[in-house]
With several copies, the nearest count.
Chain A
């Protein structure tokens, strides 16, 4: 996924090879991760797509099925991965992820501890930010979940920047070997306050902790716990509102007061008339917010080690 080996970064000259991970794009809300394998096919409602047809094509190409249906083949990014990964748990989405990476001041070379690993949605973005010289140590309580995450990082090519451990961080804390080495710690745990003392031990001076919790009671308790060792304690909520764009036609009727006219035909967009009064263009591209949205994901509490 990352262009660590610069021969593998996307370019006009790089084409899809056998073994590549591609994101098959049907629609913005329908994508799928596929590892290209010479003899395989992809079957969906548009028909059968032969992988062998894909090899040698550029990323970003439109490819066709036996029935003439088509999909696009995209190069994987952490953002696309978040949309296609298997949900083993509730995952973090782009708004929270972006904010966490920025607010934890994560850059190349950082060492970051994370728990739980969950579905690895955040981990993938953390790895992008610390590569090629930093490392993410991520821990999950569930052996199986940790294993699946490890497989995913192998598949996305991130395994050299991410180590997945099986550990009950709430119960045992982070391993002592990381004491004082972490630039940042991220917690997504049901009872984060249990892990905060250990997180404090792991952090470098001025290092930053972030805890993600869906409920305000968790936040209240975490904020109480961080008081003792941390400063700069701030809690945020981040959301994204999306817009839909349409070409709209408006009825721009005129009433002349003669009691008999109905709607006049729509006027075309007019330039300013007298006195600078603008006539509203009757056919134009307009955007409005989508009606339904994710109303809440969780609260993000940040604190800086004193």
Chain B
């Protein structure tokens, strides 16, 4: 969640650092915290994450074997890592050989599983195993070059899996969740998130009010932008704060973590004098504390609807403990709350898929400074339309606009350029505007 003296922008990993592991070109995405004892299971092999400590982000690791067992070693860059795209579209390449006569069952392969294990024990690299598999395949030569590439890639994924170590920042975290577990982040797409941050003018020294029912993604992204200045006030209805799990995945410095505060909506809306009393409220319902153990979180095809912990919890605890002092999401002190009430928030972001928009906005808008922008995300148009209508009638805001972001990715390859065949057709809707002085 936070690191003592490391910068969020550090480009080299450290012990206790959070990383996003991209296994086999996005087939699996795992969030992990690095420690000498942390282990990651790839296929049926358990590998230590220790070799990842002190490496630059962006390094690709390959799973190799030695007599001591499987281990991850950095790959020297040679050619583009993302070669899957090239293969996806091979049939367009003019080549129209027909594979149907080939029966690709196990009899076509003369190497047995045992043979392969033997090779491994003798220290064969993944690439060598793949070459051996190809040499012993009765059908490889007859395949189209497209099918050959596909075969090679399949075997590479199995026998020489690659792990790309990415920096866990708003972009990569949002993309990983959107791909593997979108429900957790309310289907908030990366371009939509980026618009929320712009439209709410998130900038240093600002005090940003957020209603984050998307697991802490918005809170973390705002804190990342504030860079240890200003405040993120994460507010909530009722007495139990919303989960902020995802904030822990960012490598936020202590300085930044301290700027993430919580405050219930009723405390924000109450008069200043009632503040003291609310301090006594029980905070035991915090969802976040229950999940503090999750050191490695996986988002993968196999567990599409659950973040599964990979059994390395205890090894990462020391790292978490080390920064306990600066836990993100402390309750806002009465002094800070009073200063918010006195000055007004700089802007407001709402990402609350299950709460009626107008109900929230009606109460929260008065907490903003005049001329403060706001941006509200929703998956349905109607709540935003109703909210916009009411804001217009109430003359509470100007520059009101409902917009729907639209994102399209392209495959750009020689003679094979076109929009990707699959797309996310929906990134939600945003209502944005600027609060004006009440007349």
Contacts and interface: CB of A to CB of B under 8 A. Distances in A.
Contact of B357 (A214, A243, A280, A289): A280
A154 interface: no
Interface string B360-372: 0001000001111
Interface size, B (range): 35 or more
A259 B264 contact: yes
A190 B372 CA distance: 37
Interface in A227-249: 227, 231-243, 245, 247-248
Contact of B417 (A220, A251, A295, A306): A220
Which residue among A4, A11, A276 has the maximum number of chain B CB atoms within 10 Å of its CB? Answer: A11
A291 B381 contact: no
Contacts of B321: none
Given A9-B205, A77-B373, A94 B198 contact: yes
Which residue among A28, A214, A293 has the maximum number of chain B CB atoms within 10 Å of its CB? Answer: A214
Interface string B197-212: 1110101111000000
A252 B226 CA distance: 31
A291 B167 contact: no
B369 A11 contact: yes
B394 interface: yes
B404 A240 contact: yes
Interface string A36-70: 00000000000000000000001111100000000
B112 interface: no
A109 B141 CA distance: 51
Contacts of B205: 2-4, 6, 9, 132
Interface in A90-107: 94-95, 97-99, 101-103, 105, 107
A10 B370 contact: yes
Contacts, number: 355
A260 B277 CA distance: 11
A206 B58 CA distance: 6
A179 interface: no
Given A12-B344, A295-B421, A60 B436 contact: yes
A285 B385 contact: yes
20 contacts: A13-B342, A59-B370, A72-B436, A74-B399, A98-B197, A102-B194, A105-B170, A191-B94, A206-B57, A206-B167, A215-B417, A238-B406, A241-B406, A242-B404, A245-B388, A254-B363, A280-B387, A292-B425, A293-B424, A294-B421
Interface of A: 2-4, 6, 9-14, 25, 28, 58-62, 72-75, 77-79, 94-95, 97-99, 101-103, 105, 107-110, 125, 128-129, 131-133, 183, 190-191, 204-206, 214-217, 219-220, 223-224, 227, 231-243, 245, 247-248, 250-263, 275-280, 282, 284-296, 298-299, 301, 304-306
Interface of B: 7-9, 11, 56-58, 77, 80-82, 92, 94, 96, 167, 169-171, 182, 187, 190-191, 193-195, 197-199, 201, 203-206, 224-230, 237-239, 264-267, 269-271, 274, 277-278, 281, 342-344, 346, 354-359, 363, 369-373, 379-390, 393-394, 398-426, 429, 434-437, 439
